[in-house]
Amino acid sequence: MKQLSEFVEEGKVKRGSPDPAEARSLAEQAAARLDDVAALPLTEKSARFRFEDAYEALREALQAFMAAEGYKPYSHEAIVAFAFERKLLPESKIWQLDRYREIRNDINYRGKGVGMEDAKEIIAFARDALTGLRHKFKGVM
């Protein structure tokens, strides 16, 4: 996995001033998005959309920590690298998150689908991850 500093050098992450308001907004948005995903019906037809929304909730939550430190990512891979370096999730969860990132890219850029089991898996993963991250938000925001 590339280091965050490499993404900064490549211009895929910009460094600026910490933005606690953006961090709070992203954290709140992530929680609301995940609540919405959990409330919507899950079918074979909707599985890809629920997967994307659960992934997006994870991305927003992790990006909140980046905003709190003054980083603006332009790469989902950079968000995963940041989460890894800051130990926001256990290492095994980081690799799982990176796998979800790849699946999400396949959905968006290659037109691939996902089944209900994949959608259920990421929704449960996102719930668990956001629960753990909420405790860390208090120290950051």
What is the DSSP track for 7-73?
Answer: HHHTTSEEE----HHHHHHHHHHHHHHHHHHHHS---TTTHHHHHHHHHHHHHHHHHHHHHHTTEEE
Q: Is the confidence at residue 10, as pLDDT, over 70?
A: yes
Q: How confident is the model at residue 66 (pLDDT cuts 50, 70, 90)?
A: very high
Could you tell me if 82 and 66 are in contact, meaning their C-beta atoms sit under 8 angstroms apart? yes
Q: State the total domains in the chain.
A: 1
Domain that holds residue 122: 4-140
| Ramachandran angles phi, psi of 71, nearest 5° | -100, 140
Q: Is the confidence at residue 140, as pLDDT, over 90?
A: no
3-state SS class at 12: coil
Hunting for tokens 């991850």 — which residue is that?
129
Q: Is the confidence at residue 83, as pLDDT, over 60?
A: yes
CATH number at residue 69: 1.20.120.330
Q: Is the confidence at residue 138, as pLDDT, over 80?
A: no
Mean pLDDT for 102-120 is 94
